[in-house]
Amino acid sequence: MAAKPSIPKGTRDFSPVEMAKRNYIFNTIRDVYHLYGFQQIETPAMEMLSTLMGKYGDEGDKLLFKIQNSGDYFSGITDEELLSRNAAKLASKFCEKGLRYDLTVPFARYVVMHRDEITFPFKRYQIQPVWRADRPQKGRYREFYQCDADVVGSDSLLNEVELMQIVDTVFSRFNIRVCIKINNRKILSGIAEIIGESDKIVDITVAIDKLDKIGLDNVNAELKEKGISDEAIAKLQPIILLSGTNAEKLATLKNVLAASEVGLKGVEESEFILNTLETMGLKNEIELDLTLARGLNYYTGAIFEVKALDVQIGSITGGGRYDNLTGVFGMAGVSGVGISFGADRIFDVLNQLDLYPKEAVNGTELLFINFGEKEAAFSMGILSKVRAAGIRAEIFPDAAKMKKQMSYANAKNIPFVAIVGENEMSEGKAMLKNMETGEQNLVSAEELIAAIR
C-alpha cells in the first residue's frame, strides 16, 4: 500500500471554511489599510541570499530557508571544501537564493530598485507568505502570512501614530482585546550607554526581548554569558522592571537617562507618540514596555508589539522604525516605519475565541435541488437572476436522491434550499425552504431573492 502523503512540519492545509476565515482576516486588514491611504504591492517568494543575509542578526540568518542552485551546483567547489563539511561555507556556494524571511527587507530592496517610479512618502501594504526555518510549536509556523504596512521617505512621528491607530482599528473590528506595547531602540541604546555597555547593545536587546518567554533569571544568565559585567546587569534590573503609568515611566526615564542624549531622544519620541494617541480615543490599551526589544537589528526608533489579552499566544502584530535599512542597498537617507499583522496567529486567536461573524464564514446561501433535466433547466433560469442579485447560489449537478442533496446542503451549512418539481414549474415558481426553521414557501424569483436578502 502506498505511504500516506504528508506535508512539512510547521505548514498547514486550509479547508474551504478555514479559507473563508482567512479571507475575512485579510479583507478586514486590507480595508483598514485602504482607509489610511496605503497601496498594495507584491514581491517574489524568493530573493537573492545577498539581499536577505545580515539583515536579521545572527539568529535570523540561521532561520533563512536557502534554495539549492539548479544544475551542477558542485562546479567550482574543491574536494577540500566538500570534505571540510563546513555547512555555512558550502551553503554559500550551493545556494544563491532564499525564501523571504519577512516582507520588510524585500520591500526595502523594492524601494531601491523602483526609486525613480515611486512618489515619496510611499505608503505600501503587502499581504504575502514568509518562511522561517524555526522549530514548529503552538502559534509558531515555518510558513505563515504577514500583512505589512510601511511608510518610507518620511521622518514624521505622525506615521507611528497612524500605524498604532490602524492596529487599534483592526483589532476593534475583530473584537479582539489587545495590549499595544511600545518602546524605542534609542531608549535601549541610552540604557546600554549609562550602564557602561554601549558596545553590547545588540546582546542586551536580544536577551531582554526574551524576558516574558524565559524569565528574569535566564535573561540575566544570558547577559552574563555575553560578557556583560555583574555591575551592569545589576544596574539594568530596576530599569527593565520599571512599573507605573506611561507618564510615570517616562518621568523616571528622563531622570535615569539624563546623561544620555540618544536615550532622551527616545523618551521624547515615545512621549509624543503616547500623548498624541491619548487624544485619539483608542479602544485598546497602549503601554510603554521597556522589556520590548524586538531582536531584529534594523530597528532604530519606535518599536511596537501587540499581545492578545484573552488567549495565551505570542505577539500577533509587531513593527517599528528602521531609518537605515535602504542604506544597505545603496540608498542612504530614506527613513521607514512599518507594522506587520501575523495573520496565522490572528486566525488562531479568532478560532479560540469564536469571534468570526456568521456572514464571514458562510459560503453558498442557496442550493437548487436537481430532480432531472427539465427541472434543472427551469431552475437555471431562476439561478441566473439570483446570482445577478449577488446571492451565492448553486444547483446540485446530478439528479441524485433527495436525501443525498439535502445532506450536501447540511454539510455545507447552506441556509436555504429551492425545490422545483412539476407543480412549481407549472406555476413558474420555486418552493423555498429555510434549513434552520424548516419553513417552506412557494415564491417567485423576485420573492425568493427578497426572502434571502
Q: In this predicted model, what pLDDT tens digit does every residue of 311-323 receive, in sequence order?
A: 998 899 999 998 8
pTM of the complete model beyond 0.75: yes
The Cα–Cα gap between 64 and 45 comes to: 13
Residue 81 confidence (pLDDT): 65
Nearest-angstrom CA–CA distance, 397 and 372:
10
CATH code 3.40.50.800 region(s) in the chain: 362-452
Q: Is 436 helix (H, G, I), strand (E, B) or coil?
A: coil
CATH superfamily of 10-174+340-353: Bira Bifunctional Protein; Domain 2 (3.30.930.10)
Rounded distance between C-alpha atoms, residue 225 and residue 135, angstroms: 23
* pLDDT single digits (tens) 20-58: 999 999 999 999 999 999 999 999 999 999 899 888 878
pLDDT in tens, 329-355: 889 889 899 999 989 889 989 999 999
Residue 83: per-residue pLDDT: 66
More confident residue, 341 or 299: 341
Three-state helix/strand/coil letters over 206-252: HHHCCHHHHCHHHHHHHHHHCCCCHHHHHHHHHHHCCCCCHHHHHHH
Under 8 Å CB-to-CB from 300, ≥6 apart: which residues?
185, 186, 321, 322, 323, 324
Residue 432 C-alpha cell reads as 423555498
Given a cut of 60, whether residue 296 has pLDDT beyond it is no
Cis peptide before 121 (omega within 30 of 0): yes
- Which residues have a Cβ under 8 Å from the Cβ of 188 and sit 6 or more positions away? 201, 204, 205, 208, 266, 290, 293
Mean of the per-residue pLDDT values of the chain: 90
Locate CATH 3.30.930.10 in the chain. Answer: 10-174+340-353, 177-309
Cα 367 from Cα 418, distance rounded (Å) = 6
CATH 3.20.20.140 assigned to 177-309: no
Q: Check if CATH label 3.40.50.800 holds for domain 362-452.
A: yes
In the predicted structure, residue 111 carries a pLDDT above the cut 80 = yes
Tell me the pLDDT tens digit for each residue of 182-196: 999 999 899 889 888
pLDDT bracket for residue 74 (50, 70, 90): low
Report the half-sphere exposure of 287 (CA within 13 A, side-chain side): 17
- C-alpha grid cell for residue 23? 479571507
Query: 419 φ, ψ to 5°?
Result: -110, 125
Percent of the chain with pLDDT strictly greater than 90? 65
